[in-house]
């Protein structure tokens, strides 16, 4: 594997492009506009700038950024061996994207989604290569976290899963496999906890500080509300909505306060305000 495409240059896509380039791969990073691409490049430069002085990079930061080519055209993915899609957590957006990627990429390229909750089986069905579609769910922040969840859709072949495992290994990530069920393993368990923390906040059980401090007292490295702010409240809401709808179980009902914050565009760290404040 030599060339990887990453679609979406947001929180996750920038991190995925960074770890692929750090591992020595050539990367084509695609987003809808130059503003989004510049934001992604700035995030990569900032992260590399933190890692380089600590001696945590196997090659100079300038060489890593030099391996990342940006583009707004899907046609630039024509020669990549593997694509990781990290666009919005919206099944309509992702289904359309997979059809587009299928047309743009060479026939043997693997199309992976970094989705947190959307059915891989459904995304695979939007392509003419359903055996080559897989879930590759990275953890945030990608350059720091050591694990990746691999999701096998109904149609995913053994060969695709093997190549995806190889890529995870190359990136220095430990792979954990999950079946294709809403939220997979990580968010199936994490999101109900975050949601419950938001319900507790809205019911006045404790302040945001008290809720997070108490959970850190249970040895979680971060409180659930700070973690929601890191993930992005829009992403948390989207994941809960998928789980609520696809399981048809009211236990996944998103907390109304979470919905209200997303309406206010209080999205967490990326917008400067969520359950906590993040002055620039
Ligand atoms: P984000 O909002 O930070 O970034 C999404 C990016 O995708 C934006 O830059 C947007 O312009 C771009 N985009 C949207 N539609 C596109 C299209 N059609 N073509 C190209 N680019 C497009 O979101 P994020 O937090 O990076 O999440 C991306 C994906 O990763 C989602 O599926 C999410 O569920 C998943 N994920 C997020 C986290 C997290 O902690 N935020 C963790 C694991 C997985």
Give me ligand 1 centre to Cα 13, in Å: 7
Q: What is the CATH superfamily name and number for domain 3-179?
A: NAD(P)-binding Rossmann-like Domain (3.40.50.720)
Domain ranges of the chain: 3-179, 187-267
Question: Which residue is it, tokens 């989207």?
Answer: 238
Q: Taking residues 104-110, what's their average pLDDT?
A: 98
User: What is the band of 275 on the pLDDT scale with cuts at 50, 70, 90?
Assistant: very high
Listed in sequence order, the DSSP H helices in the chain are 11-22, 34-51, 61-66, 91-104, 120-125, 158-170, 186-202, 208-216, 224-231, 233-247, 256-263
pTM of the predicted structure, to 2 decimals: 0.95
Angle at 155 between CA 152 and CA 157, to 5 degrees: 70
Beta bridge partners of 29: 6, 70
- Evaluate: CB of 155 within 6 angstroms of ligand 1: no
Beta bridge partners of 36: none
Evaluate if residue 280 carries a pLDDT over 90. no
The per-residue pLDDT for 81 is 98
Q: Taking residues 162-189, what's their average pLDDT?
A: 98
Q: What CATH code would you report for 187-267? A: 1.10.1040.50
Catalytic-residue membership of 46: no
Cα–Cα dist 156/146, whole Å: 24
What is the per-residue pLDDT across 18-42, written as a single tens digit (0 to 9) for each?
Answer: 999 999 999 999 999 999 999 999 9
| Alpha-carbon distances, residue 209 vs 197, 202, 216 (angstroms) | 11, 13, 10
The per-residue pLDDT for 149 is 98
Evaluate if residue 1 carries a pLDDT over 90. no
Q: What is the mean pLDDT of the chain?
A: 97
Catalytic residue among 149, 195, 241, 244: 149
Question: Rg for the chain (alpha carbons), in Å?
Answer: 18
């Amino acid at each position: 594997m030599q060339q990887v495409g990453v679609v979406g240059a947001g929180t996750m896509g920038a991190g995925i492009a960074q770890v692929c380039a750090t591992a020595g791969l050539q990367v084509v990073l695609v987003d809808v506009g130059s503003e989004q691409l510049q934001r992604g490049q700035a995030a990569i430069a900032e992260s590399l700038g933190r890692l380089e002085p600590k001696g945590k990079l196997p090659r100079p930061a300038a060489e890593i950024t030099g391996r990342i080519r940006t583009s707004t055209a899907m046609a630039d993915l024509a020669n990549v061996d593997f694509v990781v899609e990290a666009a919005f957590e919206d099944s309509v957006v992702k289904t359309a994207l997979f059809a587009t990627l299928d047309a743009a990429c060479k026939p043997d390229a693997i199309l992976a989604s970094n989705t947190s909750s959307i059915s891989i089986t459904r995304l695979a069905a939007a392509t003419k290569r359903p055996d080559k579609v897989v879930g590759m769910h990275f953890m945030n922040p990608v350059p720091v976290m050591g694990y990746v969840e691999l999701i096998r859709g109904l149609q995913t072949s053994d060969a695709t899963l093997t190549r995806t495992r190889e890529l995870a290994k190359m990136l220095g990530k430990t792979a954990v496999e999950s079946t294709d069920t809403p939220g997979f393993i990580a968010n199936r368990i994490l999101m109900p906890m975050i949601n419950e923390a938001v319900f507790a906040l809205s019911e006045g059980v404790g302040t945001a500080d008290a809720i997070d401090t108490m959970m850190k007292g249970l040895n979680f490295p971060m409180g659930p509300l700070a973690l929601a702010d890191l993930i992005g409240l829009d992403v948390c809401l989207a994941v809960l909505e998928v789980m609520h709808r696809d399981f048809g179980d009211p236990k996944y009902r998103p907390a109304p306060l979470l919905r209200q914050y997303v309406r206010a565009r209080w999205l967490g760290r990326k917008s400067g305000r969520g359950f906590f404040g993040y002055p620039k």
